[in-house]
Structure 1
């Protein structure tokens, strides 16, 4: 049994803990927070017996074999470094770190020490993405890709009220691009590799970062556009267009309903069977990685995605 310690007490940590209960061979043993009372309250909420005051105490605990980091983005790199230095496998919430250079350094150190390091990019381990990949050959030559993740955050209301909040705070590595834009960018990389070039526009908000944006990526023979937003909602799906058929994807972070329409033919619906909690796949992969499953392709996908994020963050806010 792999005993996982959680760093962070947000809603994403609660969803992770729930996912762990659906995966054999893993369990949550402790919750860590710099605020001891908060750690105890959250541990009680998710039914976990142990707590720790801070990461160092968690890493030293005798019942912790691995850690899941769900702290603010700006803290990830230092926490990865500390955990890897202690020889403890790390699953770190996306984005794993703030820059591709930071990821290259962290991943290199983890490989040198023989410690598992994995980004918790749930869409990469979701059966929906596998279903999309299986359908791609039926589309013929790919010519256009449109991927999007646009969902208004309730915390945007805090920004409108003149307050700051973690997910929009640039000092903590917050932004809509890093929080939601990474999903379609990562799927783009997983399906088609890194583009030849990328250009973008970022819509600025009062918090000092982007609330929405779009990117145009050039590949040999086709173009891809990516949209993200945490200040607006959309009913539009994602779509991949080939010369022989098009594929509509209901939700790029967790595809569940796919519609393939052959050129001149009738639409064909594909329903994806998947766990109710979309984080189950990443938990299972992390368990398997600790058991020896290769993560080289996963490291490279994270690196390529972060290079795109780096390029887009260089675009001035509009």
Structure 2
């Protein structure tokens, strides 16, 4: 049994708790927040056995084997480092850290300490993504793809009112690219690899963060992929992958549940990807399996690093 604590009390932490409840080898026991009242209220509301506001005490506890980190992006690095130094396994929300160089440092530290470090990029662990990849050969030579995640944040109104909000604070690595756009980048890397060239544009909002953006990525061999992301507008459009023999469309880039393949010969096939409503279950299972078996995280880390490298290139291109 892996005894875990949560760091962060946001909605995504509640989703993690729901997912972890479906993984028999994971037992989440403790909630951490710097604010003791918030920690206690979160623990009481979610049914966790205890709460703590002293991170050093939490990480020194022999009753905790690992932590799930869902604090603001800018706090991830220091908290991951502290947890690794304390000998704890770490599942950290996406993006694990803002830069590829920092992730290399943390991955090396985790390896030296003999603990597991895993980024919680839920769409990459969803079997639906592998199912999508399995449909691509039917499309022939791939030429175009369009991936999007646009969801207006309720907190944007606070930004417009002049308030400081972590998810829109550049000092905390906030903004649309690192919150939602990173899902489209990870999906692109998973399905097609790293692009050769990237151009990008973004829309700045009060406070200096990016509220929305677009990316055009090109691959050797003649594939062009556009990525769209926003936290200030909304869209329900499908994602699309075009090949010389047909087109594939699929639902949500963070949780693909169905796809349609329409070939130029008139053949149309619909595909449904069965799975839990909360697809964070898959990343929690992967984390638990790695901890239980002292497994190899090389492929996981390679994908995380590739995604972060692309993110950095997007930021440089804007």
**Which deviates further from its counterpart, 71-80 or 307-316?**
307-316
State the secondary structure of the residue aligned to 1:152. coil
Equivalent residues in 2 for 1:271-310, closer than 5 Å = 271-291=272-292, 292-310=294-312
Residue 177 of structure 1, CA deviation: 0.2
1:54–1:245 CA distance, 2 compared to 1 (3 A): farther
- 1:100-142 per-position Cα deviation (integer Å, ceiling 9, x unaligned): 1111111121122221100010111112112101111111111
CA–CA distance in 1 between the matches of 2:110 and 2:140? 40
CA–CA distance in 1 between the matches of 2:110 and 2:174? 25
- How high is the TM-score relative to the length of structure 2? 0.97
Residue 56 of structure 1, CA deviation: 1.4
**Which deviates further from its counterpart, 173-182 or 139-148?**
139-148
State the secondary structure of the residue aligned to 2:225. strand
Residue 314 of structure 1, CA deviation: 2.4
Equivalent residues in 2 for 1:1-318, closer than 5 Å = 1-220=1-220, 221-291=222-292, 292-316=294-318
Residue 199 of structure 1, CA deviation: 1.0
Residue 315 of structure 1, CA deviation: 3.8
CA–CA distance in 1 between the matches of 2:163 and 2:51? 31
Contact 1:87 1:115 in 2 (8 A): yes
CA–CA distance in 2 between the matches of 1:35 and 1:266? 58
- 1:36-56 per-position Cα deviation (integer Å, ceiling 9, x unaligned): 111110001110101122321
Contact 1:202 1:315 in 2 (8 A): no
State the secondary structure of the residue aligned to 1:231. coil
Unaligned runs of 5+ in 2: none
CA–CA distance in 2 between the matches of 1:296 and 1:172? 28
Residue 3 of structure 1, CA deviation: 0.8
Q: How many residues align?
A: 316
CA–CA distance in 1 between the matches of 2:112 and 2:264? 50
Residue 265 of structure 1, CA deviation: 1.3
CA–CA distance in 1 between the matches of 2:168 and 2:91? 23
Aligned CA-pair RMSD:
1.1
- 1:258-312 per-position Cα deviation (integer Å, ceiling 9, x unaligned): 1111113142111111111121111000001112332111101111111111122
- 1:203-246 per-position Cα deviation (integer Å, ceiling 9, x unaligned): 11112110000111110121111110011111211111111121
CA–CA distance in 1 between the matches of 2:150 and 2:283? 22
